Amino acid sequence: MWDKLTKSLAMFSSAVVTGTDAEGYPFSVRLTPRIDLARQVLHVELPNHVPIQPGAAGLLCHSHDEGLWNLKSFIVRGRLEHEANGWMFHPRQFIPGAGFGGLPGFMRWIMSCRRAARQYLEKRGLPRPAIPWKAIEALRAESKRSISP
Amino acid sequence: MTTIDLPPEIETVFREFRTCEFSTLARDGTPVTWPTAARFQPEPAQFLITTSIGQAQKVFHIRRSPRVALLYSDPTASGLMSPPHVLVQGDAVAPDEIVTSVDAPEDYRVYLRDNIFRRQPASEAMSSNAVMRKLFDWYYMRLLILVTPRAILWWPAGDFAQAAHRLEVNHVG
């Protein structure tokens, strides 16, 4: 997990770190973590005014291009702790997102989404709905003509 | 109904950013954050997000705990230079209704047209022929998520070292 995390983190210039505030709402900031190889933790410089509480936390790195494509992302679940030398993110689980694992990874992702969709429907006793492909194509054509308001 | 008197530069971020980082809370309280496309609707002030039933984890989280956050911190493709970074904290609802029609509700139609199809033209591949339609039909079985903001914070030029500006959202009715 640690090797995957450090290699993947090196592909991005910054990360989004999310903890929770005193009222239990998620609170996110973008920063550049520093890797502590010896302790296998990430130093994160949270400014004093950021109200994140120590505890369960997550880290996200992601990117896309100008056409919102070539998506790449991963998340890490872990904990944030305020220690003597600052805030530390203790990683627990690495979860790859888009753009990891090449073509086999992409195919696994499609199959897992298909399986999850089937289970969602089965659990509710619903038939697989028909998709209105003609209407989708018409809306796509409209999107090429329209200007965002 | 909630309306917000937003500074124009914040509304511009909501309109022009391609993605935000959307956080929900897992069963054990761990915040789980993934990039997603959100559409801000000024009246009433709400954010519309959608997800496929094949990727419904964030919806399951919301049905257990409605507390969510959206961070706008990646301006790629927005055309904005040094925009503020904006954090929205709020409460989400995610009805258990699968939407396949692209004609209604109207907000979803506009979201799909402007935030997805127009900005992500390569996604057309997912409906381009019979094989792709078979592989990706689940993508068009959508669940809607509506986020009502309770606080909006922003950092000019994305400088998190500075204290954030903060706008509390008052709910009426």
Quote ipTM for the complex: 0.93
Overall average pLDDT of the A137-148 stretch: 81
In tens, the pLDDT along B31-87 reads 999 999 999 998 889 999 999 999 999 999 999 999 999 999 999 999 999 999 999
pLDDT of residue A135: 92
- Cα(A69)–Cα(B124) distance, integer angstroms: 11
- Cα(B48)–Cα(A28) distance, integer angstroms: 19
B172, pLDDT greater than 90 = no
- Cα(A66)–Cα(B98) distance, integer angstroms: 30
- Cα(A111)–Cα(A117) distance, integer angstroms: 10
Mean pLDDT of chain B: 92
**φ and ψ of B157, to 5 deg:** 60, 20
- Cα(B19)–Cα(A112) distance, integer angstroms: 23
Overall average pLDDT of the B86-96 stretch: 96
Question: Which two three-digit tokens encode residue B59?
Answer: 């919806």
Q: Provide, rounded to the nearest whole percent, the portion of chain A with pLDDT above 70.
A: 97
- Cα(B134)–Cα(A118) distance, integer angstroms: 13
Question: Which two three-digit tokens encode residue B84?
Answer: 């503020």
A146, pLDDT greater than 60 = no
B112 against A20, higher pLDDT: A20
Mean pLDDT of chain A: 92
A53 touches chain B (CB under 8 A): no
CB-CB contact of B84 with B154 (8 Å): yes
Question: Which two three-digit tokens encode residue A16?
Answer: 């989004």
Sign of CA dihedral B109, B149, A80, B18: positive
3-class secondary-structure state, position B20: strand
CB-CB contact of B41 with B61 (8 Å): no
Question: Which two three-digit tokens encode residue B145?
Answer: 């998520």
Q: Provide, rounded to the nearest whole percent, the portion of chain A with pLDDT above 90.
A: 71
A147, pLDDT greater than 60 = no
Q: What DSSP letter does each residue of B32-62 carry, written as one string?
A: EEEEE-EEEETTTTEEEEEEEGGG-HHHHHH
Residue in A16, A132, A139 closest to B117 by CB: A139
- Cα(B70)–Cα(A26) distance, integer angstroms: 9
Q: Could you say which DSSP state residue B99 is in? A: B
pLDDT of residue B72: 98
Give the model's confidence band at B122: pLDDT under 50 very low, under 70 low, under 90 confident, else very high.
confident
CB-CB contact of B92 with B66 (8 Å): yes
In tens, the pLDDT along A59-114 reads 999 998 888 888 899 999 999 999 988 999 999 999 988 888 888 888 888 999 99
Give the model's confidence band at B173: pLDDT under 50 very low, under 70 low, under 90 confident, else very high.
very low
Q: Which residues pair with A96 in a beta bridge?
A: A74
pLDDT of residue B106: 85
A148, pLDDT greater than 70 = no
Of the candidates A86, A98, A16, which has an alpha carbon nearest to the alpha carbon of residue A58? A16
Query: What residues 84-143 of chain A have any CB closer than 8 A to a CB of chain B?
Result: 97, 110, 112-117, 120-121, 124, 126, 128-133, 135-137, 139-140, 142-143
Q: Which chain B residues are Cβ-neighbours of A116 within 8 angstroms?
A: 53-56, 138
Give the model's confidence band at B171: pLDDT under 50 very low, under 70 low, under 90 confident, else very high.
low
Give the model's confidence band at A124: pLDDT under 50 very low, under 70 low, under 90 confident, else very high.
very high
In tens, the pLDDT along B18-34 reads 999 999 999 999 999 99
A3 touches chain B (CB under 8 A): no
pLDDT of residue B128: 85
A8 touches chain B (CB under 8 A): no
Q: A107 to chain B nearest CA, in Å? A: 10
In tens, the pLDDT along B134-147 reads 999 999 999 999 99
- Cα(B4)–Cα(B40) distance, integer angstroms: 11
Q: Show the CA angle centred on residue A127, arms to residues A121 and A129, nearest 5°.
A: 95
